[in-house]
Amino acid sequence: LLAVTAHAPKNHSVPAMAAMMNAAQMQEVLGQVVLQSLQEKEEQLDSELHKMERMEEDDFEELRRQRMERLKVAAAQKAKWKLAGHGEYAELRDQKEFFNEMKKSERAVVHFYRGSTLRCEIVDMHLGKLARKHPETRFVKVNAEKAPFLCERLKIWALPTMVLVKEGKTEHSIVGFDDLGGTDDFPTSTLEMVLLTHELLLEEYC
């Protein structure tokens, strides 16, 4: 028969228990350090995200500021054009007025007409529409019969004739409707495109 021997319970020594307690405390300290480190990293990340959000807001604010500045410049330019007679289709009374008015505008379309000519009335209709749409260009008309010297100087030999003036110089003359398809029923957009081609209009207003 095998004798069953009872084992006495193991007793931990004081140094061993102290070591176990120190290990537990160390584990707790390490846990606190890790937690603190994670919290600091989270706060740092939050700070970076907040900084990025502020930068984006600043960027949007800068874009808004630039847009407002452009709107102010555009409004000031339109006011200047209006003072120079832009935005309406007007008649110049004589040669002296013609030369004075051409000095005020960078771009101008001058219609030489005769009251009894039907095609001149057609041009009047189209230029009236374009004058309201294109504030960047001056649209005027001159009675050819009352301005013989001007007609001779600008070589006006047929009516209607539209003289295109840029920076005080004659760039081109549209004689009759040949440049507009040769028919009386051309749309205003056709004349608009011809003037745009000759840089008498700005594309942003087309």
Q: pLDDT by residue (tens digit) across 63-106?
A: 788 888 888 888 898 899 999 899 999 999 988 999 999 999 99
Are the beta carbons of 127 and 142 closer than 8 angstroms? no
Whether the predicted model's global pTM rises above the 0.95 cut? no
Instruction: Give the mean pLDDT of the chain.
Output: 85
Residue with tokens 């529409």: 129
Are the beta carbons of 85 and 101 closer than 8 angstroms? yes
At residue 163 the predicted structure's pLDDT band, cuts being 50, 70 and 90, is very high
Q: Is the pLDDT of residue 21 over 90?
A: no
- The sign one gets for the Cα dihedral 23, 27, 28, 30 is positive
CA distance 193 to 201: 9
Are the beta carbons of 115 and 143 closer than 8 angstroms? yes
| Per-residue pLDDT tens over the stretch 99-139 | 999 999 999 999 999 999 999 999 999 999 999 999 999 99
Two tokens, residue 202: 């700005």
Are the beta carbons of 203 and 196 closer than 8 angstroms? yes
| Residues 133, 139, 144: CA angle, nearest 5 degrees | 150
CA distance 202 to 146: 32
The helix-helix angle for 118-133 and 188-197 (nearest 10°) equals 70
Nearest residue to 195 via CA among 122, 123, 146: 123
| Per-residue pLDDT tens over the stretch 26-39 | 667 666 766 777 78
Helices (H), the chain: 14-83, 95-102, 118-133, 148-153, 188-197
Q: Is the pLDDT of residue 8 over 50?
A: no
Two tokens, residue 93: 């009374």
